[in-house]
Chain A
């Protein structure tokens, strides 16, 4: 039971910390992208892709969290 609780906390941290990092990165990229678009609207695709890039962190964090939960038997597999 205790091990499962630790695994659950681990899973939460695995997805939570990258989520914070992603939010921080997107918070920095977003205003810069908005400022760029004001001057060069043709860069909208590049701006959207740049904003999407930090999401890799939280996505991989999610994958790791799922792996941890599978180990604890907390998710189907």
Chain B
């Protein structure tokens, strides 16, 4: 349900505004808003800007240092000297950035040198060969993978140009490319260089910084440099670790304090401050009203006036929305949170989701075996997750869904499909394999109940919002759905057939009333409502598909010749069916709620209740 809110106003001497804000932040229950006043002092922008700049330095430094956040939130006490802390953040950020840049450069150099090493490893045995032309020149070329014909073409072209004064050697590289070494006399070198340039063959240049332009002679220096790089990288890492150890805790403390300070400044900007007086307004959940007033009287004294603004003076659309539900329903709030927040004064769909979502899921899965597997996984997830996290809620929803799946599995006599029949399980209600029409009727009947409930809730929502005509229209629509269903039951003689005529007359009387209340669009809405009811047939369709797939999986045992192969195939098929059996009912139960059910009464567009409180380290989900 949506918590009732009260609008509270605090007023007092301007000199005490910071004290009052600290008190409000400490209590952490007031959603601070700007009071509706015609004039207000200009909002202070310098302090928040300064805080944000400092926070950017701190965050960047912490990210560059890779310093893990402390397990507990750091203390939010102010740092000793703010200018010194700001200078420290800036300095550590600069140092960490310099280290990161140097490390990245070393990594790049290593990658480049490895490429050279690969080339020269291919020709290492030929290094002495170069001496055949003491005044000669070597060219180093890497050709693309598979370019064997191009190498031969190059050899022919070069031999034609310089004759015997050339030697061309090629070796495949691990990458698939071809390393080509061209040794040529000094006289023939210009011709080769020109030919390579004309044919757009890229030469491999000597690596920079080795002090040697001849690559073959550069080889020892290259190897030495490659060997030295890991050490240099480790040095930078060590330096970064030392920096993180020395300044990490202080930076984390600063991070926490700055975030807290920003929250305070944000709230400060919402306070109307005059020369002598300040006015602070906000929203408070009604159950916290008494404790807030008591705490304010005790801590702030009579000088600070606390008063509640009359409910008639504010619009429901202005109030923030907080959801509060019993422990059993609370995990389902994660489903509600996937949807836009409901408006204040409308209906929180969480309790309805908590009842119908697992029931629909159970009806579609409806198998003791699959239900037990899902229950096992949910229990495992419960032990692996922390209280209050999304995963803990998912584990609870999984448990509720699996419970319904087991209950319906017992009623349908299903254990991994038809396997239950071999251990004496019999359907207590009906067999989904055969009773397709009863299952369809059940699904549509559930649709009638669910949609009618949605229309009744729409009546309540419209009435609360003061739209009486709309409320009456929705009521008549709900009544028409019920009357139509009853007349169909009478037509099929499931109800006394004497009721058929009066029921049809009632429908015919209600129809013009509906049009009079809601206009001609009501006809389209009524038709779409019947369409929505038929949409619940998906419960039967998915349920039947699930049981049929399970039966097929079991039939594989006898159909494969070998029992072992058959069992393995059956297990694999059951695994796939389980995955589909969890995914599809989840999506379709969600869809039935969000499109068919909530579409009738849900009013999105609420503002989330965000009380002004101290900054907290976000817990890591697990």
Is B426 an interface residue, CB under 8 A from the partner? Answer: no
List residues of B (195-227) whose CB comes within 8 Å of A's CBs. none
Q: B595, A53: Cβ atoms under 8 Å? A: yes
* Contacts known (A66-B436, A70-B437); A48 close to B590, Cβ less than 8 A: yes
Distance in angstroms between the alpha carbons of A55 and B585 in the assembled complex: 13
Is A5 an interface residue, CB under 8 A from the partner? Answer: no
* Contacts known (A66-B436, A77-B434, A77-B436); A49 close to B591, Cβ less than 8 A: yes
Distance in angstroms between the alpha carbons of A38 and B422 in the assembled complex: 50
Choice from B338, B435, B440, B591 contacting A63 with Cβ under 8 Å: B440
CB of A59, distance to nearest CB on chain B (Å) = 4
List residues of A (42-77) whose CB comes within 8 Å of B's CBs. 44-45, 48-49, 52-53, 55-56, 59-60, 62-63, 66, 70, 75-77
Is B594 an interface residue, CB under 8 A from the partner? Answer: yes
Distance in angstroms between the alpha carbons of A52 and B538 in the assembled complex: 11
Choice from B537, B541, B591 contacting A52 with Cβ under 8 Å: B591
Choice from B433, B535, B587, B591 contacting A76 with Cβ under 8 Å: B433
Distance in angstroms between the alpha carbons of A61 and B595 in the assembled complex: 20
CB of B361, distance to nearest CB on chain A (Å) = 14
CB neighbours of A44 from chain B (8 A): 338
CB neighbours of A52 from chain B (8 A): 587-588, 590-591
* Contacts known (A55-B538, A59-B538); A45 close to B591, Cβ less than 8 A: no
Q: A60, B534: Cβ atoms under 8 Å? A: yes
CB neighbours of B537 from chain A (8 A): 59-60, 63
Can you show 17 pairs from A to B with CB atoms below 8 A apart? A45-B590, A48-B587, A48-B590, A49-B587, A52-B587, A52-B588, A52-B591, A53-B591, A53-B595, A56-B535, A59-B541, A63-B440, A76-B433, A76-B434, A77-B435, A77-B436, A77-B437
A sample of 5 more A-B contacts (CB under 8 A), given A49-B594, A63-B541, is A49-B591, A52-B587, A52-B588, A53-B595, A77-B435
- Chain A residues within CB distance 8 Å of chain B: 44-45, 48-49, 52-53, 55-56, 59-60, 62-63, 66, 70, 75-77
Pairs of residues from A and B, 6 with the lowest C-beta to C-beta distance, nearest first: A76-B434, A45-B338, A59-B541, A59-B538, A52-B591, A62-B541
